[in-house]
Structure 1
């Protein structure tokens, strides 16, 4: 079976713990269990039995997740080991020999790597920078769907790494095009809830059609990646099929993770976490704004609508992977290369960490850029 290196994940795994300042994370600084749980819940956690658990997720947890999706019930939810497993088993379930996938770019490139391994054609449709921000190339999507071979349209909304939130009109247009082509929409919504500058929470694709699956997790907007807990939300029949695939992967997630996640995802708790997320990102974006302003046009970006990252274009004749390497080796600062998202000439810088660490990292990047 052919295999492509997952450049984003492999590079992060290799280097994120070996630098003094890691700015590759697009999530938000997590809380400790003592901060997250009430004294009563801390006591209850100590009494959780470490045996086999509900493989699909406890009813309590699935109800809490379902509350974020209008009209959903626990039967529409499958708990997974992060969004990575949710995406993998969804791809494995839906895609068949001879199928193609229409993939939004830039994107978390998991589906691209899976397509290479399974022998499926990838048909990109891109966000394009314009005076109004990032605009979707609908002509490319329509062309990708024209021959009826596309089985899945892969979306990230809010987008990673641009931070763009799709308009209601664009969402409806994608749904209509996918329905006409008989394709499924798989929408990675892991940054939903981290909207900035007073924007309302991004609407979900869930429920906008009969052939839509949403994936997400407790990382990124919800700040607690260490739980390694994600989910799929979709039609009951497809969720049941996904459960059968999960029997071949993780079989299920741990009881302690599910206990904590249920507290985090209960509506009131979820809103507190998301408010914290938005506050942290907003503070750090001001730092990014000031930094970009110091470079008099050699750095630029479209201010993100959501998400813990800034996707920054630069005016130096060096590839983004090489620039990331130079920052890591010369300044012990790690940033994400736009090349790892299929869009060179950009760097993704995380905005969900401690402001002091971000400022120090940007100061070191100043030194590197000044030397080029």
Structure 2
């Protein structure tokens, strides 16, 4: 076999997320049911039942691409390519636009798919960092120092996974200036856009700020529909055509039913309801996690996320994050993501966008393990 960098977080989740009692590793809120999506609309149900299970438009059915384009100022349906999840958008964007030896600069911490794809493609990888001591603000001076004439792409995650940090518009402008200075692409993973914790205002996209942007979106996070496996990339039409050509060797397209259901979910009538549901899960779940962290004494601390249903919790325990997560899974049947998987030990990514009767017992089992590790009796 050829050398290969596994995607260690997804490897873990593939193996164990369906096997544990409490899965606190997922980064979206509790998923929507089909009944919740359709509501009491017999016309929508009849429309779906009459659907021929044929191939859809390979780039996404027109209604879906129209509804996606409505989310981006200045976009048209022709600027949208529908993919099998955002993970395919990220993968194909890098495979299409970059060649072995090209340089990519990646925000860190980050969803490590892009880092792994870059390693497997033989790219030169540089990082710029979010700083915990500044509530995970990006170190843009570092970005400006590492971006140079060899940089072909800057990869962003906004809102950020795992910290939930949303870039300010001035920070976005400085990133665009960096990219424009050297003619680099901006790959902006925006799957948590709209899943805000403290405001109902959606953070802006990088699309429209610069002519070499690929903005990535998904039904999985803000809309709580990960089972549809629908994502998209919005960007220059020539680049989308090249990405689509490469996709014709693999998945070809998403399913017809997924296209139809995603178009329904993103319709002006239904989308606001789904976003509100997501925000309610986030806003009800975070105080539960925050109170739990407080009750653990000096074991953990956390910076409140701006968005997303995850918190990047600092562990002050004298144990490696992967070792702790493994013990938690094996001894307590709870799955969380160790900070090692984001390149930062002594952190734990914990989900909180879950029903309280699921979230609270899962957190309690983490508490049980910390007591047992300290030699205390679990009552």
Farther-moved stretch of structure 1 (238-247 vs 252-261): 238-247
Partner of residue 81 from structure 1, selected from 75, 84, 96: 84
Q: Identify which of structures 1 and 2 has the higher relative contact order when contacts are C-alpha pairs closer than 8 Å and 6+ apart.
A: 1
Contact 2:286 2:353 (C-alpha < 8 Å) held by counterparts? no
Give the corresponding residue for 2:160: 159
- Asked if 1:9 is matched to 2:7, the reply is no
Indicate yes or no: 2:179 matched with 1:178: yes
- Structure 1 residue 96 corresponds to structure 2 residue 99: yes
Say if 1:98 and 1:149, in contact at 8 Å, map to a contact too: no
Q: Secondary structure at the match of 2:306?
A: coil
Match of 1:108 among 103, 108, 111: 111
Where does residue 66 of structure 1 map in the other structure?
69
Gaps of 5+ in 2: 374-379
In the TM superposition, what are the counterparts of 1:232-243 in structure 2 within 5 Å?
Answer: 232-243=233-244
- What do residues 198-224 of structure 1 show as CA deviations (whole Å, max 9, x unaligned)? 252111111100010011110011100
Once superposed, which parts of structure 1, at least 4 consecutive aligned residues long, lie more than 3 Å away?
none
Matches within 5 A, 1:270-281: 270-281=271-282
Distance 2:19 2:258 in 1: 27
C-alpha change, 1:342 and 1:268, in structure 2 (3 Å) is farther
Residues 109 and 343, structure 2, Cα contact 8 Å, conserved in 1: yes
Q: How does 1:344-355 map to 2 (within 5 A)?
A: 344-355=345-356
Deviation at 1:296, TM superposition (A): 2.4
Q: Corresponding residue for 1:369?
A: 370
What CA deviation, in whole Å up to 9, does each residue of 1:6-63 have, x standing for no partner?
0110000011111111100111112221221122111111111111210000111100
- What secondary structure, in the 3-state scheme, does the structure 1 residue paired with 2:264 have? helix
Counterpart CA distance in 1 for 2:335 and 2:101 is: 39
Q: Is the 8 A contact 1:67 1:267 kept in 2?
A: no
Alignment counterpart, residue 60 of structure 2, candidates 40, 47, 57: 57
5+ residue gaps, structure 1:
none
Alignment TM-score, normalising by the size of structure 1 = 0.97
Q: Which residue of 2 aligns with 1:144?
A: 146
Secondary structure of 2:349's aligned partner: strand
Alpha-carbon RMSD across the aligned residues, in angstroms, is 1.1
CA deviation vs aligned residue, 1:299-330 (integer Å, no higher than 9, x gap)? 10100000010110011111111111011111
How far did 1:182 drift?
Answer: 1.1
Whole-angstrom CA distance in 1 between matches of 2:73 and 2:53: 33
Counterpart CA distance in 1 for 2:344 and 2:301 is 15
Do the aligned residues in 2 keep the contact of 1:308 with 1:352 (CA within 8 Å)? Answer: yes
Please, which moves more after superposition, 212-221 or 289-298? 289-298
Paired residues, number = 370
Question: Is contact 1:65–1:266 with CA below 8 Å preserved after alignment?
Answer: no
**How far does residue 120 in structure 1 lie from its aligned partner after superposition?**
0.6
Instruction: Report SS of the residue matched to 2:242.
Output: helix
CA contact (8 A) 1:71 1:207 kept: yes
Cα offset for 1:240? 1.5
